[in-house]
Amino acid sequence: MQRLTLRRRLSYNTNSNRRQKVKTPGGKLVYIYQKKLGTFPKCGDCKRKLAGIKPSRPMTRSRMSKRLKTVTRSYGGSRCHACVRSRILRAFLMEEQKVLKQILKEKRMDRIKQAIEKRKAAAKAKKKDAAKKEKKPAAPVGKSKK
């Protein structure tokens, strides 16, 4: 067994100091330091892995171009397709509900206006009838003698 020397100063077996023994073409055994594995970006709503985006470390992600970090869709790179679909559907249904509410309000106002008009017409008719009843028949117009 050949002794190996560390290439870096850190000697502890930590997560960031993982090493692998590799035999070089010259026949020597050396340490190769392993990089940490990147993680898949996850959906903000359901925590599912996002399709179409490669796993990467934060620093490499900051150096990546925009097209590698997103998908060309609304909420691409932030939300999965199913969550985007449910959001769109929810927004549409909310808008429909608002429209329906407005229509019902208008109908209710029309009914109220019609009821008020009916009451006014009834009151007017009642006044007319009362005025007719109160009128006394006028004295017969005859020839007056002078």
pTM over 0.75: no
- Per-residue pLDDT of 98-118, as tens digits, reads 999 999 999 999 999 999 999
The answer to whether position 138 is within a domain reads no
Q: Is 8 part of any domain?
A: yes
Residue 25 lies in a domain: yes
Domain-embedded: residue 6 = yes
Mean pLDDT confidence for 22-49 = 95
Q: What was the pLDDT predicted at 38?
A: 94
Say if CB 37 and CB 46 are below 8 A apart. Answer: no
**What's CA 8's distance to the chain center, in Å?**
49
Instruction: State residue 142's pLDDT score.
Output: 66
For the chain, give the number of residues. 146
Per the CB < 8 A criterion, the answer to whether 52 and 68 are in contact is no
Range of the domain at 7: 1-36
Q: Please say if the pLDDT value at position 49 is more than 70.
A: yes
The whole-number average pLDDT for the span 75-92 is: 96
In a domain, 81, yes or no: no
Counting the structural domains of the chain, the total is 1
Residue 134 has pLDDT above 80, yes or no: no
Residue with tokens 């009843």: 133
Give 44-68 as a DSSP string: TTT-PBPTT---B-HHHHHHS-HHH
